[in-house]
Amino acid sequence: SLIDDILDLSQVDAMRMPLAEEEVQIGNLIRDAVSAASGLVRGRDVRLEVQVEPDLPTLWVDITRIRQVLLNLLSNAGRFTEHGAITVSASREDHVIHVRVADTGIGMSPEQLSRAFKEFEQADGSLRRRYGGTGLGLAISKRFVELHGGRIWAESALGVGSTFHFTLPVSSAGRLAALTHTPERTAGASQALQVKTVILQGSSDSGLRLLDRYISGYHFVPSANTEETLTLVAKEHPWAVLVAAETPDEVEQVAHRLADLHPTLSLPVLSYRKDVSGLSQLPGHIQWLSKPVQRKALLTTLARMVPAGRNLLLVDDDPAEVQLLARMLRSAEKEYLIREAYGGREALEAIAASPPDAMLLDLMMPGMSGLQVIEQLQARPDLAALPILMVTAGDVSAHETPIDVPNVSGLGLVKSDGLKTQEWLVCIRGLLDAVSPRYVDAPDISESQPAGRSG
Q: State the SS3 of 260-276.
A: HHCCCEECCEEEEECCC
The amino acid occupying position 64 is T
The amino acid occupying position 297 is A
Contact status, residue 326 vs residue 340, Cβ threshold 8 Å: yes
**2-173 and 194-275+401-448: identical CATH topology:** no
Q: How many Cβ atoms are within 10 Å of 350's Cβ, its own excluded? A: 17
**Does pLDDT of 314 surpass 90?**
yes
**Does pLDDT of 229 surpass 90?**
yes
Residue with the bigger pLDDT between 43 and 440: it is 43
According to DSSP H, which parts of 339-444 are helical?
Answer: 344-353, 370-378, 421-434
Can the peptide bond before residue 292 be classed as cis, meaning omega within 30 degrees of 0?
A: yes
Share of residues in the chain with pLDDT > 70 (%) = 71
Name every residue whose Cβ is closer than 8 Å to that of residue 44 and which is 6 or more positions away in sequence.
82, 83
**Phi, psi dihedrals of residue 240, rounded to the nearest 5°:** -165, 170
Give the per-residue pLDDT at 301: 87
Domain boundaries, the chain: 2-173, 194-275+401-448, 286-398
Q: What is the mean pLDDT of residues 377-397?
A: 77
Give the per-residue pLDDT at 120: 45
Give the per-residue pLDDT at 87: 97
User: d(Cα 38, Cα 20) in Å, to the nearest integer?
Assistant: 27
DSSP H or E stretch at residue 158: none
Residue with the bigger pLDDT between 91 and 123: it is 91
**Does pLDDT of 400 surpass 60?**
no
Q: pTM higher than 0.75, yes or no?
A: no
Give the per-residue pLDDT at 38: 83
- Across 96-110, 118-132, 404-418, which has the greatest mean pLDDT? 96-110
Q: Which CATH architecture has domain 286-398?
A: 3-Layer(aba) Sandwich (3.40)
Which class does domain 2-173 fall in?
alpha beta
**Does pLDDT of 217 surpass 80?**
no
**Closest by CA position to 100, among listed 85, 89, 112:** 89
**Does pLDDT of 76 surpass 70?**
yes
Burial class (CB in 10 A: 0-12, 13-18, 19+), 49: exposed
Give the per-residue pLDDT at 12: 43
Which class does domain 194-275+401-448 fall in?
alpha beta
